[in-house]
Chain A
Amino acid sequence: MSGHDHDHDHSELTETQLRVRALETVLTEKGYVDPAALDLLIETYEKKVGPRNGARVVAKAWADPAFRARLFKDATPAIAELGYAGRQGEHIVALENTPRRHNMVVCTLCSCYPWPVLGLPPVWYKSAPYRSRAVADPRGVLKDFGVSLPKDIEIRVWDSTAEIRYLVIPMRPAGTEGWSEDKLAELVTRDSMIGTGLPKGPAK
Chain B
Amino acid sequence: MNGAQDMGGVHGFGAVEPEPNEPVFHADWEKRAFALTLAMGTPGGWNIDMSRFARENRQPAEYLAMSYYQLWLAGLEALLKERDLVSDDEIVVGHSLQPPKPVTRILSPGDVAQVLYRGGPTERETNTKARFKAGDTVRAKNINPLTHTRLPRYVRGHQGTIERVIGCHVFPDSNAQGAGENPQWLYTVRFDGRELWGEGADPSVTVSVDAWEPYLEPL
- A contact residues vs B (CB 8 Å cutoff): 13, 16-27, 29-34, 36-42, 44-46, 50, 85-91, 108-111, 119-120, 122-124, 126-133, 135-139, 141, 144-145, 151-164, 191, 196
Q: Which residues of A contact B111 (CB under 8 A)?
A: 37
Known: A38-B32, A129-B13, A135-B9. A122 touches B95 (CB 8 A): no
Nearest CB in chain B: distance from A73 CB, A: 13
| A119 x B10 contact (CB < 8 A) | no
**A156 is contacted by which of B48, B80, B122, B206 (Cβ under 8 Å)?**
B206
| A34 x B106 contact (CB < 8 A) | yes
**A40 is contacted by which of B68, B112, B150, B154 (Cβ under 8 Å)?**
B112
Q: Which residues of B contact A138 (CB under 8 A)?
A: 202, 205
**B24 is contacted by which of A46, A154, A157 (Cβ under 8 Å)?**
A46
Nearest CB in chain B: distance from A25 CB, A: 5
Nearest CB in chain B: distance from A154 CB, A: 5
Q: How far is the CA of A45 from the CA of B34 in the complex (A)?
A: 10
Question: Which interface residue of A21, A32, A127 has the most chain B CB atoms within 10 A?
Answer: A32
| B169 x A162 contact (CB < 8 A) | yes
Q: Which residues of A contact B85 (CB under 8 A)?
A: 30, 32
| A38 x B35 contact (CB < 8 A) | yes
Known: A156-B208, A161-B152. A128 touches B29 (CB 8 A): no
Known: A86-B116, A132-B11. A19 touches B91 (CB 8 A): yes
Q: How far is the CA of A136 from the CA of B198 in the complex (A)?
A: 10
Known: A50-B24, A144-B15, A161-B210. A154 touches B31 (CB 8 A): no
Closest residue of chain A to B32 (Cβ to Cβ) is: A20
| A46 x B25 contact (CB < 8 A) | yes
Q: How far is the CA of A86 from the CA of B116 in the complex (A)?
A: 6
| B19 x A37 contact (CB < 8 A) | no
Please name 17 pairs of A and B residues whose Cβ atoms are closer than 8 Å in the assembled complex, sorted by A. A18-B94, A33-B39, A37-B112, A87-B115, A90-B119, A90-B120, A109-B5, A109-B52, A111-B68, A130-B16, A135-B154, A144-B16, A154-B206, A162-B166, A162-B210, A163-B169, A196-B16
Closest residue of chain B to A102 (Cβ to Cβ) is: B204
| A129 x B166 contact (CB < 8 A) | no
* B143 beta carbon closer than 8 Å to chain A: no
Q: Which residues of A contact B86 (CB under 8 A)?
A: 23, 26-27, 30
Closest residue of chain A to B37 (Cβ to Cβ) is: A41
- B contact residues vs A (CB 8 Å cutoff): 5-11, 13-19, 22, 24-29, 31-36, 38-40, 43-44, 48, 52, 55-56, 64, 68, 70, 73, 76-77, 80, 85-86, 90-96, 100, 103, 106-109, 111-113, 115-123, 150-152, 154, 166, 169-170, 172, 186, 188, 190, 196-197, 201-202, 204-212
Known: A19-B73, A36-B109, A136-B8. A123 touches B206 (CB 8 A): no
- The DSSP consensus for interface residues of chain B is mixed
Q: How far is the CA of A45 from the CA of B37 in the complex (A)?
A: 14
For the complex of A and B, 9 pairs with smallest distance between CB atoms? A22-B94, A162-B210, A108-B8, A30-B100, A38-B35, A86-B119, A29-B96, A87-B119, A128-B13
Known: A22-B92, A90-B122. A122 touches B19 (CB 8 A): yes
| B14 x A20 contact (CB < 8 A) | no
Nearest CB in chain A: distance from B160 CB, A: 12
Q: Which residues of A contact B108 (CB under 8 A)?
A: 34, 37
Known: A85-B117, A162-B166. A37 touches B13 (CB 8 A): no
| A40 x B109 contact (CB < 8 A) | yes
| B16 x A141 contact (CB < 8 A) | yes
| B103 x A32 contact (CB < 8 A) | yes
Known: A46-B24, A129-B13, A132-B10. A37 touches B29 (CB 8 A): no
